Structure formats: C-alpha cells, structure tokens
Structure 1
Amino acid sequence: MNTIPQGNHPFRSNQVRYADYVMPFLLFLCALVSILTTIGIVYTLVSESIAFFKQVPILEFLTGTTWAPLIQPVSFGVVPLMFGTLMVTLIACCIAIPVGLATAIYLSEYATLRVRNIVKPVLEVLAGVPTIVYGYFALSFITPVIQTLIPGTSLFNALSAGIAVGVMIIPMVSSLSEDAMRAVPSSLRYGAYALGATRFEVAVQVVLPAALSGIISSFVLAFSRAIGETMIVTVAAGATPQLTANPLDSIQTMTAYIVQVSLGDTPHGSLAYGSIFAVGLTLFVITLILNIIAAAVSKRYREVY
C-alpha cells in the first residue's frame, strides 16, 4: 500500500506556503494600523495647535503664569497647568517608587512561591480598579484624613490627588521591577552568597544594579502614567489653575482642564477650543521626551545575559 510521507503531505505543504505569504502581510497590516494611528493623533494635535498659535504667541503660551481661557480678559499661560501636573506627579512618584520597589524586592528575593502567587494577583486587581473610583476614594477618604491631620486643607487639593495617583501606579512599578529582578541570572545571587553576602546585600548590591535598566524603565513609565492621569485629578485636585507650591491648595492639571473644556459648550474653532489641542500637544511632547529618556537610560545600563 502506497503512503505519502507525513513531511511531504501536499495539503500540509499548501498550508505552510499559504501561511508564509499571508501571515507576514497580516502582521504588517497590524503594525501599519499602529503607525497610522500615531500619525493621525500627531497630525490632529499639530494642525489644531497651529491654528491656536496663530492667535496666541507660543512664547506667551509657554511662559505665561495666568491661565484664564474662559474668563475675560482671557489669558493662555500654561505654566500653572504644567506646575499643577508636575506637583501631583511628583507626589505620586514619592509614594509609588519607594513602595513599589520595596514590594518588588520582597516578591523577587524574599517571598515564597505561595506568597508570590497570592500577592501578585492582588496587585494586578489593584491596577484594574477604574481611575474614577480612585478619584472618589481620594475625595471621600484621603481628603478627610488630611483635613483631620492638617486643619484648613482645601476640599480639593493636590496632595490628596497625588496620593491616590501614587497608590494607582504602585502595581505598575512593583510588577515591572519584579519582572526585571527575576530576569537576573541566579548564578549572580549564588556567587554573592558564596562570598558571604546576606540576602539583603544580594538584593540591593547585586540584583538591583543588574536589573537597573528595567527598574528605571518602570519608574519612567509610571511617571508618564501619572502625568497623563485624568479622572483622579479631575475629581480630587480641583479646577483652580493657580501657580502655587502648596500641595494643600486646589490646583488644576493639564488633563483636568481638557476634561473641563471638552464637557462644556465650547464653540468649535474658538480659542478655548484650540487650547485643548495646544495643551494636549504640550502633554504629548512631555511624555515623548520622558520615553526618549527612558529608552536612552535603558540602553545605557542594559545588561545582557
């Protein structure tokens, strides 16, 4: 009885040939969609912003200290919005980076497999909580606690929003940092133990420097996530675009302003409408710069095993 060898089966050959030609094309289309989407976003931001900057000088926009686009006389100095955004982001990072890194060190170097299998899913659940929930948590729980400890604190304040954003990005820092630390070869740990190092010394002086590129990337990614956060700062930080260094005052961030104007009756083509895209473009450029810095740092300190 004649049989066809499995490796030379005609149908299998046709399937392989079909996949060789079609799948690369489909994968290219998926990549092209991502590229075209990015180009479309950049084009929309730039084209609308150009129309805005024809009426408002870009130098005045970037250096002005008064933001009042909806109140006469109008003023379009974006510095208060940038300062408010930076304040909330720094508060969030001061909470998320130490706590997230400590959590990553514990999960990577100290926790047993059973504990890790419990703690990590809990962190993933924390990351999946809608941001609007964090916003009302900040407004109804964190702010009253701050007002109890520091009387005179405004109901809407940067500190409460920053704490809530920090709690939200802890899972991002801890998960990515822990993945980077667990990617470090065990031979480095065993070598340090053989030299008499303690577990803490191994974690801090061996594993942490070896995973530095991944850890820094997680920090910058969390920083970018905090800058772009919208609902928490909209609910908890307020809508007062003032230039203040007091985190107990009400402020307004760039994303909160975009939400405020987008939900209003802003006429299409007006200066206030154009300011949405100008602020969005500024936020996009800041995030792009952070990503470039993260890529450069990761490349500089990248360890290949």
Structure 2
Amino acid sequence: MRTCNLVVDSCCDLPYELLEADGLYLLNFPYLMDGGSFFDDLFQSRKPQDFYDAMRKGSAPTTSQVPMPQFLELFRSLAATGRPSVYLSFSSGLSGSYDAAVLALSQLQEEGLDAEIYLVDTHLASIAEGVLVHEAIHQWKRGMSAADLAAWAREACYFVNEQFMVEDLDTLRRGGRIPSTVAVAGTALDVKPLLAIDKDGRLAVTGVARGRKKAMKALVEDFLKRKSEDNQISTVLIGHADCPKDAQKLKELLVKADESVIPVICNIGPVIGSHVGPGMLAVGFWGQDKRENLSLADKIARKVKGGRD
C-alpha cells in the first residue's frame, strides 16, 4: 500500500519506464533549442541521437529553472489527491528550481492550502540523482510514509557517489558551470576531464585522463575505491550522452571488476545534456559519505575548532 505521492524531476535521467506508476509524478524541466521551447520528457518525444547530433552540428541549447506557475499547478494537483507528497528535487547548487518550489509552496500555504508536502533538496544531479530516486521508488512502493521517505532521502543523498567524464569542458563553460580558465586549460592539454558533485550539490573537477579508454578506466577505479563495502544495494547507474557502445563497454568493465554489480544504462536527458554535451559518460552508485571527503577548507576549520583531521 503506497501511503503518499512521490514527485521526481527529469534531471534524474532514469529510463522513462522506471517512472511509470500510479502516484508517481514526473516534473519536466524546460529547455530552449534552435528557437523552440521544449520540456525534458526523457526522450519520449525525440530521439537522443537527434538531440545530440544537433549539438554536434552547432546547436547550443539552453536551460532554465522550473517556473513558479508550474510548481503551483503541481502542488494544487498533489493536494487534490488527499495524500501526503514528497518531491525529490534537482540540486539547488545547480539550479534555482528548488528555491522556486519552496516559494510556491509557501505562497499556497499562505493562501490556505491544506496539504502535507515535503520538499527535499537532493544536492544531486543526473544519474547521481537517479541513484537516489531509484531506491526512493523502491522504498515508496514498500509503503514508507511521506515523512519517513523525506527524512531518509535527506540523509541518503550524502551516500550517493558518482564520477563522470566529458569530451571537453567547453559546453560546461558556455553554461556557466565551470570557470573559463579551467575549460581553456583542459582543451589545451587535450585531456578528458573527470568531474563529480560535491556534498553541496555543485560540480567539482576531480581529475583528468588522456583519452577515453583511460578515462573509462578511471571511472571504474573510482567506483572500486568509493563503493560501500557493507551496502546491500548493488544497482549501479551508467549514464551516456549518445555513446551507447562506450556505455556498454563501461558496463562490461564494471561487471568484470565487481560481479555483484547490477548495471542500469541510462540516456543523459536533454537538460543535463545541454550542459555536458555529446560523449559524456557517468557512473553513479551507493558509496562513501561525502561529508567525510573533506576539502582543505573543511579540514582547517576542524583544526581551528579542535576537531580531528
């Protein structure tokens, strides 16, 4: 018995068929491309190859946050069901959509909306967000309450690990996701940048590799290093931006490295794809607590407070 509604957004990049269930709502992020306005429907209305081929030919799609009217309509619909609801949101570190959701819900509550709706900032994006959503759906189907599901997600998000590679950093630069100096240096050195999402939900460059084969090997090594040894969830998401052969090869490498892996291959949707460009590969999995992977600033702060390193 499902005790609540569950709302996820298209930035989770999961296969569409995994999101088809009564009481499960998909919030579609908007994007602009070649003068037209579209919604990210996880490639239900267009093929991934068509989208990424357009980018290869020079198209530069742009994205925006979900507008408040869209949230207002969603929350009214959720309230009409008479059941509590949980929304697992794309990272506030990469989009203003979570803040728009908070404002929309606050406005409706001031107007007298009587509904139990929990908003969760996952601090995740793309298949990292997908890892959390995938397990949240499992917990939801088992009958977890809205309050418990929201509490679980707020803690579990820190145990989602990921790393991804891009063909180059120029697309991320154009979208304002990384500094121009970093993009220029990466291009000049002819390397494949490796990135991840930090505990605050922002992009971080984690390394470089020369060539796709070495970059794919680095993704597998990162998985083996950071995967949780005592975790009972073996699902690993493999995301790709129109490079299915490489995704299949990456799947084979992961299974060879760890036979317990249950791989799920996902297309990187148009909103995330607008920022990473064609050729991106990613691995998302349950692993170490990101809060323990301290930055230098965190370590200095702990020393000042007399804490451990």
Going by fraction, where is strand more abundant, 1 or 2?
2
Work out whether the TM-score is over 0.5. no
Larger radius of gyration: 1
TM tier relative to shorter chain: under 0.3
**Taking structure 2 as the reference length, what is the TM-score of the superposition?**
0.21
Structure with more contact order per residue of length (Cα contacts < 8 Å, sep ≥ 6): 1
